Amino acid sequence: MNVSVIGLGKVGLSLASCLATSGHRVIGVEIDVARVDALNRDRFDTSEPGVAERLSTAPAGAFTATSDLAAAICGSDLSFVIVPTPSNTLGGFSLRFLLPVCDAIGAALRKGDRAHTIAVVSTMLPGSSDAVVIPRLEAASGRTIGRGLGYCYNPSFIALGEVVKGIVKPDYVLIGEADRASGDLVQRVHESMVTTTLPVARMTPVEAEITKIASNTHETMRVSFANMLLSICSEIPGADVDRITEALAYRMGRRFFRGALPYGGPCWPRDNVAFTAFIDAIRSPSTLPRAVDTFNAEHGRYVLRKILSVSAPGQTVGLLGLAYKPGTPVTERAFALDLAAALPKDGRKVIAWDPVAISEFRKQCGDGVAYADSAEACLRASQVAVATIPLADFASIDWTAAANTTLVDGWRCLPRAAIDACREYVALGRGPSGSVAPWLRDTVGAYFDLLTS
Ligand SMILES: NC(=O)c1ccc[n+]([C@@H]2O[C@H](COP(=O)([O-])OP(=O)(O)OC[C@H]3O[C@@H](n4cnc5c(N)ncnc54)[C@H](O)[C@@H]3O)[C@@H](O)[C@H]2O)c1
């Protein structure tokens, strides 16, 4: 098929690469002309694994980039739209980049009579398709849904650092179809890219919009529940959060259920805020997504407290991992940023290291913290070092550099070599040694007798 992909960013370029290696002819549309130029000269500036390989091995002519949206629309049957939908001041998702694209698509469609389907991938608030996007497309094109114009909301469930995997091996494909033919078309295109049998959830656009945003609240609810268990277990002598989450998983599954540090990134935090704003707007109870967001901040303060408790003013705290997750340079809402802002206020110096995210981190954090060239240099300079994300690189670090360092392991992910070599190992989620009864007497006192009377 001839397919346009509008917006060649982190998600769009990855999708284009998967389409181009699945037998389609892909016209990528990007507003950034320098990026278009680089892409057409085979310079694929992406940190997403597999994307450059796919684009360079795709058949000749299977992928071209352009800034000419009208030409792309006229030369294709289906367009995936993946432009930014940034959070606005009210917590919603702004359509200010998407609507001009709708206008331009509509204007291009007026020039011919070839049928065209639009699949919006960008994250939108529930109702956006029916109330804003579809009317805008219909007005701009002079067509109506089902009459030369097809529409689906087709968000993707991907994580940065593994976007291609999320496209070719998705948990499922979500299609919110305004017309059945468009749903069939979008499903066929996804089936052409995947390597396994594909669960497909087809529904109305508004249901798909709710599903997409609810998915992230649902996931962060579980993440936060496990994080709550981490803080409880960190306090109670002999308790181990992993034994508890593993047992609970027999009933509810393991995914998104490992007690660890607060979540971050470009999607989860803002989606909870947006879901809350939307639910408030329709006057339904919004406590749940609001609580998840509030708890995540509270959990961050708890972890900060634990780090402060093993360090002293004037000491240096090393941050091992600066991105919001392993495998990506993206630092948006990374917990390491919160620590880098908070620790100096309590007199700690900070030195930061990450295998791929230092330059992004520096852009956000500036030179208020020091940066280490290697994990070993970071460890040697720190009295306390925190594993903020479970980096694969931890397996190959020379941990003898931590001989004078207390290691705080937020994920219980450090190897035996680290635990054996460091001055002291603090695994968050595992309580101190000792017995429960005297600890309860000390911390809760007689109130525990009342609680159990
Ligand atoms: N990044 C994620 O993890 C993720 C996950 C799921 C959903 N999403 C959603 O996907 C959408 C895009 O996210 P992203 O991370 O790829 O963003 P991005 O900023 O990496 O890429 C967006 C691209 O669109 C281009 N663009 C903007 N206006 C354009 C226009 N008029 N015409 C052509 N190109 C235009 C930008 O120049 C940029 O290259 C957002 O709605 C986001 O919420 C992102």
CA distance 8 to 36: 9
Q: Which pLDDT value is given to residue 61? A: 92
Which is it for the CA torsion 201, 203, 209, 210, positive or negative? negative
CA distance 400 to 114: 66
Buried b (16+ CB within 10 A) or exposed e, 127-141: bbbbebbbebbbebb
State how far the alpha carbon of 434 is from the alpha carbons of 228, 306, 437, in Å. 22, 18, 9
434: left (phi over 0), alpha (psi -120 to 50) or beta: left
Closest C-alpha residue for ligand 1 atom 44: 11
pLDDT per residue as tens digits for the range 92-142: 999 999 999 999 999 999 999 999 999 999 999 999 999 999 999 999 999
Q: Which pLDDT value is given to residue 398? A: 98
Give the nearest ligand 1 atom to 101 CA: 31
Tell whether ligand 1 has an atom less than 6 A from the beta carbon of residue 103: no
Name the residue among 437, 443, 334 with its Cα closest to residue 391. Answer: 334
197 alpha carbon – ligand 1 mean position (Å): 28
Tell whether ligand 1 has an atom less than 6 A from the beta carbon of residue 227: no
Q: pLDDT band at 44, cuts 50/70/90?
A: confident
Could you give the angle at the alpha carbon of 278 between the alpha carbons of 274 and 280, nearest 5°?
A: 115
Tell whether ligand 1 has an atom less than 6 A from the beta carbon of residue 156: yes
Q: Name the E strands within 281-396.
A: 316-320, 349-353, 370-371, 384-387
What's CA 155's distance to the chain center, in Å? Answer: 14
215 DSSP 8-state letter: H
6 alpha carbon – ligand 1 mean position (Å): 9
State how far the alpha carbon of 240 is from the alpha carbons of 222, 410, 418, 437, in Å. 18, 13, 19, 17
Mean predicted confidence (pLDDT) in 254-279? 96
Beta bridge partner(s), residue 365:
none
Q: Is the pLDDT of residue 368 over 90?
A: no
pLDDT per residue as tens digits for the range 173-199: 999 999 999 999 999 999 999 988 889
CA distance 392 to 379: 17
Query: Taking a C-beta distance cutoff of 8 angstroms, is the pair 60, 25 a contact?
Result: no
Tell whether ligand 1 has an atom less than 6 A from the beta carbon of residue 31: yes
How many residues belong to the chain? 453
Q: Is the pLDDT of residue 315 over 80?
A: yes
21 alpha carbon – ligand 1 mean position (Å): 21
CA distance 152 to 118: 6
Q: Which pLDDT value is given to residue 43? A: 83
- Phi and psi dihedrals of 300, rounded to 5? -60, -40
Tell whether ligand 1 has an atom less than 6 A from the beta carbon of residue 97: yes
pLDDT per residue as tens digits for the range 322-346: 999 999 999 999 999 999 999 999 9
pLDDT per residue as tens digits for the range 49-68: 999 999 999 999 999 999 99
Closest C-alpha residue for ligand 1 atom 38: 9
Q: pLDDT band at 450, cuts 50/70/90?
A: very high
What's CA 99's distance to the chain center, in Å? Answer: 24
Q: pLDDT band at 378, cuts 50/70/90?
A: very high
Residue among 29, 31, 35, 95 to mutate when testing ligand 1 (max atoms within 8 A of CB): 31
Query: Taking a C-beta distance cutoff of 8 angstroms, is the pair 4, 29 a contact?
Result: yes
pLDDT per residue as tens digits for the range 418-446: 999 999 999 999 999 999 999 999 999 99
CA distance 299 to 122: 29
Tell whether ligand 1 has an atom less than 6 A from the beta carbon of residue 81: no
CA distance 262 to 260: 7
pLDDT per residue as tens digits for the range 396-406: 999 999 999 99
Contacts of residue 198, Cβ cutoff 8 Å, sequence gap at least 6: 170, 172, 173, 190, 191
What's CA 360's distance to the chain center, in Å? Answer: 16
Residue among 5, 11, 48 to mutate when testing ligand 1 (max atoms within 8 A of CB): 11
Q: Which pLDDT value is given to residue 67? A: 97
Mean predicted confidence (pLDDT) in 357-363? 96
Q: Which pLDDT value is given to residue 46? A: 83
81 alpha carbon – ligand 1 mean position (Å): 9
Q: Is the pLDDT of residue 47 over 90?
A: no
Coil/strand/helix, residue 217: helix
**Tokens matching residue 286:** 């919004």
Share of the chain above pLDDT 90, in %: 96
80 DSSP 8-state letter: E
Q: Average pLDDT over the chain, rounded to whole?
A: 96
Tell whether ligand 1 has an atom less than 6 A from the beta carbon of residue 209: no
86 alpha carbon – ligand 1 mean position (Å): 9
Q: Which pLDDT value is given to residue 93? A: 97
Tell whether ligand 1 has an atom less than 6 A from the beta carbon of residue 329: no
**Tokens matching residue 242:** 């992993």
Q: Which pLDDT value is given to residue 131? A: 98
Tell whether ligand 1 has an atom less than 6 A from the beta carbon of residue 330: no
Closest C-alpha residue for ligand 1 atom 5: 158
Name the residue among 331, 321, 325 with its Cα closest to residue 354. Answer: 321
